[in-house]
Chains A and B, each alone.
Chain A
Amino acid sequence: MKFRQLTAALALAALALGSAHAQPIKVGELNSYKVFPAFLEPYKKGWQLALEEINRSGGVLGRKLEVVSRDDGGDPGSAVRVAEELIARDHVAVLMGEFASNIGLAVSDLAARRKIVFVAAEPLTDKLVWQDGNAYTFRLRPSTYTQVAMLVPEAAKLHKKRWALVYPNYEYGQSAAESFKKLLKKAQPDVEFVAEQAPPLGKIDAGSVVQALAEAKPDAIFSALFATDLQKFVRAGNLRGLFKGRAVFDLLGGEPEYLDPLGDETPVGWWVTGYPWNQIRTPEHEKFLKAYEKRWHDYPRVGSVVGYSALHTVADAIRKAGSTDSARLIAALEGLEVQTPFGPIVYRAVDHQSTMGAYVGQLAKKDGKGVMVNWHFADGADYLPSPAEARLLRKQ
Chain B
Amino acid sequence: MSASAAFLQLLNGLASANSLFLVAAGLSLIFGVTRTINFAHGSLYMLGMYCAVTLIARLGGGALGFWASVLLAAAFVGVAGAAIEILVLRRTYAAPDLMQLLATFALVLIIGDFALWAWGPEDILGPRAPGLAGAVTILGREFPQYDLFLIAFGPLVLLALWLLLTRTRWGTLVRAATEDREMAGALGVNHKWLFTGVFALGAFLAGFGGAIEIPREPASLSVALSVIADAFVVVVVGGLGSIPGAFLAALLISEIKALCIGFGQVTVFGTVFSLSKLTLVIEFLVMAVVLVLRPWGLLGRAAAPARGPAVLEPRLPVPSRRALYALAALVAALALVPTLSTGYTLVLLTDILVFALFAVSLHFIAGPGGLHSFGHAAYFGLGAYGAGLLLLKAHAPMELALLLAPFCGALGALLFGWFCVRLSGVYLAMLTLAFAQIAWSIVFQWDALTGGSNGLIGVWPARWLSSQSAYYYLTLATCSAGIALLWRILYSPFGYALRAARDSALRAAAIGIDVRALQWAAFTLAGWFAGLGGALFAFAKGSISPETLAVPRSVDGLVMVLLGGLHTLTGPIWGAALFTWLEDTLARTVNYWHAVIGAVILALVLAFPQGVAGFARQRFARRGDDA
* Contact flag A106-B457 (CB < 8 Å), given A89-B343, A169-B277, A228-B218: yes
Contact bitstring A331-373, B, C-beta under 8 A = 1, else 0? 0000000000000000000000000000000000000000000
B33 at the interface (CB under 8 A from A): no
A21 at the interface (CB under 8 A from B): no
In this complex, how many residues of chain A approach chain B with their Cβ under 8 Å: the count is: 70
- Cα of A71 to Cα of B595 in the assembled complex, Å: 14
- Cα of A346 to Cα of B274 in the assembled complex, Å: 40
Do the beta carbons of B264 and A228 come within 8 Å of each other?
no
Interface 9-residue window, one of B153-161, B188-196, B219-227: B219-227
A194-248 contacts to B (CB < 8 Å): 195-200, 202-203, 205-209, 211-212, 214-216, 227-228, 231-232, 235-236, 239-241
Do the beta carbons of A261 and B545 come within 8 Å of each other?
no
Residues of B within 8 A of A235 (CB): 125, 128, 215-217
A81 at the interface (CB under 8 A from B): yes
B197-228 contacts to A (CB < 8 Å): 215-218, 220-223, 226
Query: What is A's interface to B at a CB cutoff of 8 Å?
Result: 34, 37-38, 40-41, 70-71, 73, 75-78, 80-82, 84-85, 87-89, 101-103, 105-106, 108-110, 113, 125, 127, 132, 169-171, 174, 195-200, 202-203, 205-209, 211-212, 214-216, 227-228, 231-232, 235-236, 239-241, 257, 260-265
Do the beta carbons of B588 and A70 come within 8 Å of each other?
yes
23 contacts between A and B (CB under 8 A): A34-B594, A38-B121, A41-B121, A75-B553, A88-B344, A102-B454, A102-B546, A113-B460, A170-B453, A197-B276, A198-B274, A199-B276, A200-B280, A205-B257, A206-B216, A207-B12, A209-B261, A211-B9, A236-B144, A239-B134, A239-B142, A240-B142, A260-B122
* Contact flag A195-B122 (CB < 8 Å), given A89-B344, A208-B9: no
Do the beta carbons of B542 and A208 come within 8 Å of each other?
no
Minimal beta-carbon separation of A111 from chain B (angstroms): 10
Nearest chain A residue, comparing its CB with the CB of B147: A207
Residues of A within 8 A of B63 (CB): none
Residues of B within 8 A of A81 (CB): 347-348, 351, 541, 584
- Cα of A203 to Cα of B348 in the assembled complex, Å: 34
- Cα of A223 to Cα of B10 in the assembled complex, Å: 24
Do the beta carbons of B583 and A78 come within 8 Å of each other?
yes
Query: What is B's interface to A at a CB cutoff of 8 Å?
Result: 1-2, 5, 8-9, 12-13, 15-16, 116, 121-125, 127-128, 134-135, 141-144, 147, 215-218, 220-223, 226, 257-258, 261-262, 264-265, 274, 276-277, 279-280, 342-344, 347-348, 351, 444-445, 447, 452-455, 457-458, 460, 468, 537, 540-548, 552-553, 583-584, 587-588, 593-594
- Cα of A263 to Cα of B128 in the assembled complex, Å: 12
Residues of A within 8 A of B468 (CB): 88
Do the beta carbons of A109 and B457 come within 8 Å of each other?
yes
Do the beta carbons of B543 and A80 come within 8 Å of each other?
yes
Contact with B343, one of A88, A105, A265 (Cβ below 8 angstroms): A88
Do the beta carbons of A196 and B344 come within 8 Å of each other?
no
- Cα of A207 to Cα of B11 in the assembled complex, Å: 10
Do the beta carbons of A80 and B541 come within 8 Å of each other?
yes
Do the beta carbons of B12 and A73 come within 8 Å of each other?
no
Q: Which of A85, A113, A212 has the most CB of B within 10 A?
A: A212
Minimal beta-carbon separation of A263 from chain B (angstroms): 6
Contact with A127, one of B121, B226, B265, B454 (Cβ below 8 angstroms): B454
Nearest chain B residue, comparing its CB with the CB of A227: B123
Minimal beta-carbon separation of A174 from chain B (angstroms): 7
**A-B residue pairs, 3 tightest by C-beta:** A88-B343, A37-B121, A170-B453
- Cα of A80 to Cα of B347 in the assembled complex, Å: 10
Residues of A within 8 A of B452 (CB): 170-171, 174
Nearest chain B residue, comparing its CB with the CB of A244: B142
Nearest chain A residue, comparing its CB with the CB of B347: A84
Residues of B within 8 A of A102 (CB): 453-455, 545-547
Residues of A within 8 A of B543 (CB): 76, 80, 105-106, 109-110
Do the beta carbons of B541 and A199 come within 8 Å of each other?
no
- Cα of A227 to Cα of B274 in the assembled complex, Å: 24
Nearest chain B residue, comparing its CB with the CB of A102: B545
Contact with A170, one of B13, B264, B351, B444 (Cβ below 8 angstroms): B444
With A78-B587, A199-B261 known, 19 other A-B pairs at CB within 8 A are A81-B347, A81-B584, A88-B344, A102-B545, A103-B545, A113-B460, A169-B277, A170-B452, A195-B265, A196-B264, A197-B261, A205-B258, A207-B16, A208-B258, A211-B8, A212-B9, A231-B217, A235-B215, A261-B124
Residues of B within 8 A of A125 (CB): 454
* Contact flag A211-B460 (CB < 8 Å), given A171-B454, A236-B144: no
Contact with B547, one of A76, A82, A200, A212 (Cβ below 8 angstroms): A76
Do the beta carbons of A75 and B261 come within 8 Å of each other?
no
Nearest chain A residue, comparing its CB with the CB of B16: A205
- Cα of A231 to Cα of B217 in the assembled complex, Å: 7
Contact with A208, one of B13, B217, B348 (Cβ below 8 angstroms): B13
